[in-house]
Amino acid sequence: MPSNKFFNRSIISIRDFTIDDFAYLFDLTDKIQSLTSNERGEIAKGLILGYIFYEYSTRTRLSFESAMASIGGRSLGISNIDSSSIMKGESYADTIKTISLYSDVVLIRHPSDGSSRYASEISDKPVINGGSGSEEHPTQAMLDIYTIFKEKKRINGLSIGIVGDLKYGRTVYSLIYGLSTYDVDIHLVSPSVLKIRSESIDDIPNNIKMFHHTELTDDLLKKLDVIYVTRIQRERFPDLQEYKKIQGLYTIDENILKRSKPDVAILHPLPRVDEISPSIDNTTNAVYFKQASYGKELRSALLSALLHENPF
Ligand code: NCD
């Protein structure tokens, strides 16, 4: 049985964790769902999650808040920096330091790469990276891999397609780093302007097989067990005209499902814009909302493991 390597530790990059750590976390995520609400409510009693979001968020912030509440803790934070002293000119460092004074763990989303790593050097408390620029979003990838495991009952041996904005999508990088500890085939599908940043993946151990595509061909669709769809990161796009050219390029709809394996699992970190047609939401292939709901459970387990050496 792997031991708890999350205790009192900042979660900055998924690369700081091993396949055993994922196994520990996934097991804890299963176990926390079988606790009674009274048992759950004791785990983080009296403890506080502090957060600051310099970028928009729906799921990350709400699932963390909901997770913290479900284990008996509280959350406080800043989701709109316009209402904070940042507007008076307070520095990032002083802001993070202050949040860490009032909380037991600090969750941060920021548009710059390296922002969470830097915060962890300033904060008195462990920092969780809730999305740093186009670099990483480690807890999203943990829940993505957990979702794949729940759906497919295994990770090893799967063919996983990652489709869309591979250049700016931070969840993509964390997912690839996380999956690279398993034995999987990864098929990267994007227009050439949104190709994966090769410098960000060139030190991944080469036992993982990665294939590059620009189209969702029939041959490819027949291979894929999972299709992980991403939104084009409009806000990181230098030229909106360029954005418009590629918008809606790989919309997943009934036609794509017909050409795919019957049990293909469609995942998306959400929010979606037009990459997945709502007309497939009620199919058994559509896993994205289940994935979002696992976000609460996995983050409850993660917070428990971070706050206690023996969580429950
Ligand atoms: C993602 C993000 O912020 O990187 N959202 C999320 O946390 N589920 C994906 C996105 O914004 O496209």
C-alpha 140 to ligand 1 mean position (Å): 8
Q: What domains lie within the chain, and their CATH numbers?
A: 14-135+294-307 (3.40.50.1370), 138-292 (3.40.50.1370)
Rounded Cα–Cα distance for residues 133 and 138 (Å):
12
| 231 CA closest ligand 1 atom index | 12
Question: In a mutational test of the pocket of ligand 1, which residue from 60, 163, 243, 298 has the highest number of ligand atoms less than 8 Å from its CB?
Answer: 60
Alpha carbon of 290 to ligand 1 centroid (Å): 16
Q: Which two tokens stand for residue 302?
A: 């993660």
Protein residue closest via CA to atom 7 of ligand 1: 60
- Which residue is catalytic, options 60, 139, 171, 230? 60
What's the pLDDT tens digit per position in 256-305?
Answer: 999 999 999 999 999 999 999 999 999 999 999 999 999 999 999 999 99
Distance in angstroms (rounded) separating the CA atoms of residues 109 and 131: 5
- The ligand 1 atom at the shortest distance from the C-alpha of residue 295 is 8
Q: Is the CB of 268 under 6 A from ligand 1?
A: no
Catalytic residue among 109, 125, 170, 268: 109
Residue in 304, 296, 308, 252 with CA at minimum distance from that of residue 278: 252
Task: Respond yes or no: is residue 60 known to be catalytic.
Answer: yes
pLDDT in the model for residue 240: 85
pLDDT under 50 in the chain at which residues? none
Return the ∠ at Cα 111 (arms to 170 and 83), rounded to 5°. 135
Q: In this predicted structure, what is the pLDDT of residue 311?
A: 96
Active site residue 109: yes
